[in-house]
Structure 1
Amino acid sequence: MKTPLSSSSSPASSSSLSSSLRKTRLSPYLFALLSFIVFVSILYGEDLVCIFGQQRQLRPTSPRPGPRTEQRKSGASGGEPVIPFAIGRGEEGCDVFSGRWVRDESARPSYEESECPYIQPQLTCQEHGRPDKDYRNWRWQPHSCSLPRFNATLMLETLRGKRMMYVGDSLNRGQYVSMICLLHSLIPEGSKSMETFDSLTVFTAKDYNATIEFYWAPFLLESNSDNAVIHRVTDRFVRKGSINKHGRHWKGVDILVFNTYLWWMSGVTVKILKGSFEDEVKDVVVMSTDDAYRMGMKSLVRWVQKNMDPKKTRVFFTSMSPTHGNSEEWGGEPGDNCYNQTTPIKDPNYWGSDSRKSIMQVISEVFSKSKVAITFLNITQLSNYRKDAHTMIYKKQWSPLTPEQLANPVSYADCVHWCLPGLQDTWNELLFAKLFYP
């Protein structure tokens, strides 16, 4: 290994230095000290450079190489790769999305339902009479490592002067509310607020000049289900190439967390509008669910590449949130669903509906071609085990229940959404891990 130090240190240069030192009439002791430094530099300079170089490579805060969905950008000087917001690196060879649920009453729940006033009444299971509490006491344990402990102070300090936004449907809104519940207790009562402006909900931490926001866009693209309140339409249309309709509200955000899945799954096909919703005669094509979803993911990738700065911002995508509408999938009785389920599925190979696999393949295929990193939060498998964590019948109902429904709770159990506190707090712990320790 050649270094500038060793290549410039020759006998001739040493002689020249000695002559210069004699001319300046330095003391014999100082002359001897300088001569010794020059000698050590000539003899060991190359070794010292290598040692210091290795020490720099071993610094604990330098991020390790990871999957293609992680941002890896070298500095202008060709030094270590830098990932925005990262303060360390994850454990080598650790897949935080592969693991098992362990009961942990000492660390769960992360907060009490009654202590977080921001939870929608559709997710407050204890308030609506759920008799058991065990669903709150499970902690996700990766097989070969441990998740970093969620640090609310670090999260808030990181968000100082910044915007964080969740974009998607009601499942992403649940994750959004979970994040606020994990943080809000550190913020004085008079220094926080939550406001809703049509599709946008904004939680403000005033002392931090920070906002955590949720934007309702169940397809990400423009659709006839974009009204944040009145969106329960049976004949759904998605407008092709229309992501900028919503995307203009996402610009300038420092941390973006997307999700979209459930609304694409209303059938085996999706109606795609090629023109405008204002057209008198609408040009509509019918696409398979996989092809339509692929179109949506490509639109997202193009928007991210055009509008997000990989040196300053982070983009996450939360994978499919599973449902538990058919108990036969996990060996239950025919006709049952998540209602009255109180324990997780223990089979490590349980997957659920095969339709989810094809959608996961679409995401992998499209994201792998992205020129800007999108960090994939693979919550699907770990959430598949949690048939016990849904809101079931313990929530505010949108409309009065009929006597027939009341006589058969399975018929109206919600096996899509999740109680808070609960599973979605783990989703945010995984987000925390990938944000700070990629």
Structure 2
Amino acid sequence: MRLKSMEFSSRNNKHSIINTKNISILIATTLILLTIVRLNYPFLIYSYKNPAEISPPYHAEDESINNIKDQDYEKCDIFTGEWIPNPEAPYYTNKTCWAIHEHQNCMKYGRPDNEFMKWKWKPDGCDLPVFNPYQFLDIVRGKSMAFIGDSVGRNQMQSLICLLSRVEYPIDVSYTPDEHFKRWNYVSYNFTLAHYWTPFLVKGKEEDPNGPTHTGLFNLHLDEFDESWTNNIDEFDYIVLSAGHWFYRPAMYYEKGRLVGCRFCQVPNITDLPMSYGLRRAFKTAFKAINGLENFKGITFLRTYAPSHFENGLWNQGGNCLRQRPFRSNETLLEGINLDFYMTQMEEFRIAEREGKKKGFRFRLLDTTQAMLLRSDGHPSRYGHWPHENVTLYNDCVHWCLPGPIDTWSDFLLHLLKMEGGRSHKERNSPA
């Protein structure tokens, strides 16, 4: 009897052990499946065709930053390369994103080709991952970013909003109804995005809405801050500064309250100065304003000049941009005013970077010039409006279609933010 009892007990124990093992295996399998689903769910729900190209969510504070090779971040020049086909693109459409302004909505207005949306920037000697909206929002959680400049800067912000729309749309938290000063908030991530309209970066006023070229005549005080943005950026963690195209317009140049010359003002006895004169002094003043801030602790990105592509005439003389594929890097050159603008920006950036470093300020380069020089196929041209509409910029070869090549600027920006995470980790762990 005792033997039977022991045998029964032993049998129960065996069953118990087996059941426990089965339950453990079941729980482990379930956890593994849940983990796989969790990691892939964001990409599955938005139907990425090739999730392998997109990294898992990134945490700037994650210790796995140690596994990032130096050459992936520090030694690779992501701004020199070629455009290669990307059949997976685009990652949003003009019907899924409400942030697209009408004059950049090329597909709505009948653009017959769509290949301009299906290219990816490939740096020489390394890879640049496709923008991952989850990674980006994870990095900027609890932070804020301001785009400061003209309508091309706003074009960049709208592209970013469209790319992030696969995760979340922001709510409008603007302080004013003025469309030139917009603020958006991503509630789930407590991330604020803003745009400050300042086409010349410095204090200016339109003197004559017509002017000698029917594009206005502006009085620009090249050494005076535009306080509409300089007084409002202390709170931001990142600012993206850009300007360029408005310096083509006629302007009177003032310094220390005195008229020193002009750009194509056609006024007798006034020295006509090159366009880069105004651009240089405007950037010098803008950088001086940033370096003079007492409470600003953020990072300043200079987004370099993105050339326009008018062919067969000037913008107001029938010029257009109807190419349907990118140039190769050996098919065109950065020259003339494009080169002049680019070099002017770079020179003033390096000066500001050196001065800022003495005070602990951080300046970073978002160099879009070479990549965008090759993308004459990416502008709205005649497809930013209906054919019968009377618009100022009838053929728009300045702004960029959405979706379109400007989306790559977010690939660049995310890469630079990852680099900041790597730098922060190294600084925290380097010996004092």
For residue 302 of structure 1, the aligned residue among 268, 280, 288 is 288
Cα pair 2:321 2:381 within 8 Å, conserved:
yes
In the TM superposition, what is the alpha-carbon distance from 1:338 to its structure 2 partner? Answer: 4.1
The runs of 5 or more residues in structure 1 that have no matched partner are 1-58, 65-86, 227-231, 277-281, 330-334, 406-410
Q: Which residue of 1 aligns with 2:302?
A: 317
In the TM superposition, what is the alpha-carbon distance from 1:99 to its structure 2 partner? Answer: 0.6
Cα pair 2:201 2:226 within 8 Å, conserved:
no
Matched to 1:356, the amino acid is N
Pairwise mapping of residues 32-111 of structure 1 onto structure 2 (< 5 A)? 61=65, 90-106=72-88, 108-111=89-92
Provide Cα deviations, 1:50-100, integer angstroms capped at 9, x if missing partner: xxxxxxxxx863699xxxxxxxxxxxxxxxxxxxxxx98734531101111
For residue 179 of structure 1, the aligned residue among 121, 145, 160 is 160
Q: Which residue of 2 aligns with 1:31?
A: none
Structure 1 residues 132 and 297: CA distance shift in structure 2, 3 A:
same
Q: Does 1:375 align with 2:357?
A: no
Cα pair 2:380 2:401 within 8 Å, conserved:
yes
Q: Does 1:345 align with 2:321?
A: no
In the TM superposition, what is the alpha-carbon distance from 1:317 to its structure 2 partner? Answer: 1.0
Cα pair 2:326 2:377 within 8 Å, conserved:
yes
Structure 1 residues 139 and 298: CA distance shift in structure 2, 3 A:
same
Provide Cα deviations, 1:397-432, integer angstroms capped at 9, x if missing partner: 799339xx9xxxxx9321111100111110111111
Structure 1 residues 63 and 328: CA distance shift in structure 2, 3 A:
farther
Q: Which residue of 1 aligns with 2:276?
A: 290
Q: Which residue of 2 aligns with 1:118?
A: 99
Q: Which residue of 2 aligns with 1:401?
A: 390
Cα pair 2:201 2:283 within 8 Å, conserved:
no
Matched to 1:396, the amino acid is H
Cα pair 1:274 1:285 within 8 Å, conserved:
no
Q: What CA distance in whole angstroms lies between the structure 2 residues aligned with 1:225 and 1:214?
A: 21
Q: Which residue of 2 aligns with 1:142?
A: 123
In the TM superposition, what is the alpha-carbon distance from 1:353 to its structure 2 partner? Answer: 4.3
Q: Which residue of 2 aligns with 1:197?
A: 177
Q: Which residue of 2 aligns with 1:153?
A: 134
In the TM superposition, what is the alpha-carbon distance from 1:249 to its structure 2 partner? Answer: 2.2
Pairwise mapping of residues 407-426 of structure 1 onto structure 2 (< 5 A)? 412-426=394-408
Q: What CA distance in whole angstroms lies between the structure 2 residues aligned with 1:204 and 1:164?
A: 10
For residue 236 of structure 1, the aligned residue among 218, 224, 243 is 218
In the TM superposition, what is the alpha-carbon distance from 1:207 to its structure 2 partner? Answer: 2.5
Q: What CA distance in whole angstroms lies between the structure 1 residues aligned with 2:102 and 2:124?
A: 35
Cα pair 2:217 2:249 within 8 Å, conserved:
no
Structure 1 residues 163 and 395: CA distance shift in structure 2, 3 A:
same
Q: What CA distance in whole angstroms lies between the structure 2 residues aligned with 1:420 and 1:241?
A: 35
Cα pair 2:111 2:383 within 8 Å, conserved:
yes
Structure 1 residues 167 and 397: CA distance shift in structure 2, 3 A:
farther
Q: What CA distance in whole angstroms lies between the structure 2 residues aligned with 1:222 and 1:258?
A: 16
Structure 1 residues 384 and 116: CA distance shift in structure 2, 3 A:
same
Structure 1 residues 121 and 328: CA distance shift in structure 2, 3 A:
closer
Structure label with greater radius of gyration = 1
Cα pair 1:101 1:138 within 8 Å, conserved:
yes
Cα pair 1:104 1:139 within 8 Å, conserved:
yes
Structure 1 residues 92 and 257: CA distance shift in structure 2, 3 A:
closer
Cα pair 1:63 1:89 within 8 Å, conserved:
no
Matched to 1:97, the amino acid is F
Q: What CA distance in whole angstroms lies between the structure 2 residues aligned with 1:305 and 1:146?
A: 34
Cα pair 1:264 1:293 within 8 Å, conserved:
yes
The TM-score normalised by the length of structure 2 is 0.69
Deviates more, 1:282-291 or 1:360-369: 282-291
In the TM superposition, what is the alpha-carbon distance from 1:233 to its structure 2 partner? Answer: 4.7
Q: Does 1:360 align with 2:346?
A: no
Cα pair 1:60 1:89 within 8 Å, conserved:
no
SS of the equivalent of 2:165 reads: helix
Q: Does 1:253 align with 2:233?
A: no
The TM-score normalised by the length of structure 1 is 0.68
Cα pair 1:273 1:284 within 8 Å, conserved:
yes
Q: Which residue of 2 aligns with 1:427?
A: 409
Q: What CA distance in whole angstroms lies between the structure 2 residues aligned with 1:249 and 1:213?
A: 11
SS of the equivalent of 1:116 reads: coil
Q: What CA distance in whole angstroms lies between the structure 2 residues aligned with 1:339 and 1:349?
A: 16
